[in-house]
Amino acid sequence: MGPEELRAALAPALGPSLVGVEPFEGFAARVRFRREGATELFRAVHGLGNTHLSMVAGIDWVDHREVLYIVWSDAAKQYTLLSADLPADDPHIETASGVWPSANWHERETWELVDITFDHHPDLRHLLTPDGYEFRPLLRSFKIHEPEELEVKVRHV
- Using the rule CB under 8 A, is 25 a contact of another protein? yes
CA distance 9 to 48: 8
- Using the rule CB under 8 A, is 69 a contact of another protein? no
Judged on CB neighbours under 10 Å (0-12, 13-18, 19+), 154 is exposed
In terms of CB distance, is 14 or 56 closer to another protein?
56
Q: Name, in order, each residue with C-beta under 8 angstroms of 125's C-beta and a sequence gap of 6 or more.
A: 108, 131
How does strand 30-33 pair with strand 78-87?
A: parallel
- Using the rule CB under 8 A, is 67 a contact of another protein? no
Contact 97, 122 (CB under 8 A): yes
- Using the rule CB under 8 A, is 128 a contact of another protein? yes
**Least Cβ distance, residue 77 to another protein (angstroms):** 4
* Binding range to another protein, per CB under 8 A, among 10-18, 19-27, 31-39, 84-92: 19-27
Q: How many residues bind another protein (CB under 8 A)?
A: 45
CA distance 135 to 129: 9
Binding site residues, another protein, CB under 8 A: 24-27, 51-55, 57, 59-60, 68, 70, 74, 77-79, 81, 100-102, 104-106, 109, 113, 126-130, 135, 137-138, 142, 144-147, 150-152, 154, 156
